[in-house]
Amino acid sequence: MHVLSGIQPTGRFHWGNYFGAIRQYIRLQDEAEDAFYFIANLHALTTVRNPAELRQLTYDAAVDLLALGLNPDKATLFIQSDVPEVSELCWLLMTGTPMGLLERCHAYKDKKARGLAADAGLFAYPVLQAADILAYDADTVPVGEDQVQHIEVCRDLAASFNHHFGPTFVLPKAKLLDTSARVPGTDGEKMSKSYNNTLEVFEDPKVLRKKIMRIVTDSRPVEEPKEPETDHLFQLYSLFADDAQREAMAAKYRRGGFGYAEVKKELADMAEQYFAEARRRRKEIEGRPEYVRQVLGDGAAKARRKAKEVLRRAQQACGVKL
């Protein structure tokens, strides 16, 4: 299994990023023959316009991933822009990409439907994403359901290129991430930086506790029984609880006679304990910037070797390389 995935540095990682994707990426590094994980700073340019902010977020993403358990001895971590071969491969794919295919992609359609301006970067996002995947001969791409369409686009573009120019690209398959653990935000909606409802993984514990205590709940009386499965506070609690703790809390909900503040305090305690080791590692890694740069440099060198091989194969196939 050859795994490839990227994550945008558009803000600090929150619980939704971790439980929805990062935790599973880290597990896959033990199963894969090759695992390439990149920080997608070129994709982030469609939303982050401040250069200093983008540089800092990119660096923070690398430190955070290492602190959360990404092991450079098992997986290749690098910055997207450090592999220019991907951008060149993107152009080769772009020349054969139908406009209609990109017009049907949901990220572009959704933005247009909301009356928001969409730039060419967002429009061509799926082609760059396809180049990201194809450049490393990845056969497995872990994604959430909202990204499956982009993997299908990647397969379409690769299959079309192979049809016109002969066997060149490996056709990847999407590996659906386990999204059974829904991650709501502090307002009950999906946790997202766009909604300003996030709980950050490496937030100061005191600040995080205050945010947890302000989580929006309903106004039912203390004595009234409550249904845990439809309660977003219970869903957040379930991220950290083991089976016995989860069942005990669910029983408490159904009995009634408790206040939401009790659950919030337990949630804050469990979250602080759960991420304590990662916070300790982050503090250590943060003090070793030369180590972080070495990891990213080594990762980029390995990624470039593979991307050069695939790019040359594509260039020769389509005739731009003599």
**Predicted confidence (pLDDT) per residue in 217-246, tens digit:** 988 888 899 999 899 999 999 999 999 999
- Element holding 51 (H helix, E strand): helix 51-67
CATH 1.10.240.10 intervals, the chain: 203-274
- Element holding 173 (H helix, E strand): strand 173-176
Amino acid code (one letter) for 30: D
Residue 46 three-state SS: coil
Give, rounded to a whole angstrom, the gap between the first and last alpha carbons of the chain.
33
- Element holding 253 (H helix, E strand): helix 243-255
Q: How far is CA 58 from CA 43, 174, 294, in A?
A: 12, 25, 15
Residues marked as catalytic:
111, 190, 193
Token output for 281: 């590692």
pLDDT in tens, the chain (322 residues): 999 999 999 999 999 999 988 998 999 999 999 999 999 999 999 889 999 999 999 999 999 999 999 999 999 999 999 999 999 999 999 999 999 999 888 778 877 777 767 789 989 999 999 999 999 999 999 987 778 888 999 999 999 999 999 999 999 999 887 755 579 999 999 998 888 999 999 999 999 999 999 999 988 888 899 999 899 999 999 999 999 999 999 999 999 998 999 999 999 999 999 999 999 999 999 999 999 999 999 999 999 999 999 999 999 999 999 8
CA nearest to 148, candidates 129, 134, 128 = 129
CA 58-74-152 angle, 5° bins = 65
User: For the chain, how are helix, strand and coil distributed in percent, rounded to 5?
Assistant: 60, 10, 35
In this prediction, residue 4 carries a pLDDT of 95
Torsion 200-205-207-210 (CA) sign = positive
Measured between alpha carbons, how far is 286 from 84 in angstroms, rounded to an integer? 27
Question: Would you say domain 203-274 falls under CATH 3.40.50.360?
Answer: no
Token output for 291: 């180590």
In this prediction, residue 179 carries a pLDDT of 58
CATH of domain 2-182+288-318: 3.40.50.620
pTM greater than the 0.95 cutoff: no
CATH 3.40.50.620 intervals, the chain: 2-182+288-318
Amino acid code (one letter) for 180: S
Q: How far is CA 321 from CA 67, 131, 279, 311, 314, in A?
A: 42, 18, 49, 10, 9
Measured between alpha carbons, how far is 264 from 50 in angstroms, rounded to an integer? 36
CA nearest to 141, candidates 35, 39, 18 = 35
Measured between alpha carbons, how far is 309 from 135 in angstroms, rounded to an integer? 8
The rounded Cα 205 to chain-centroid distance in angstroms is: 23
φ, ψ of residue 84 to 5 degrees: the values are: -65, -20
Residue the block writes with tokens 């540089």 = 55
Give the total residue count for the chain.
Answer: 322
Token output for 87: 């951008």
Is-contact 23 63, C-beta < 8 A? no
Token output for 189: 């909606």
Residue the block writes with tokens 């609880």 = 241
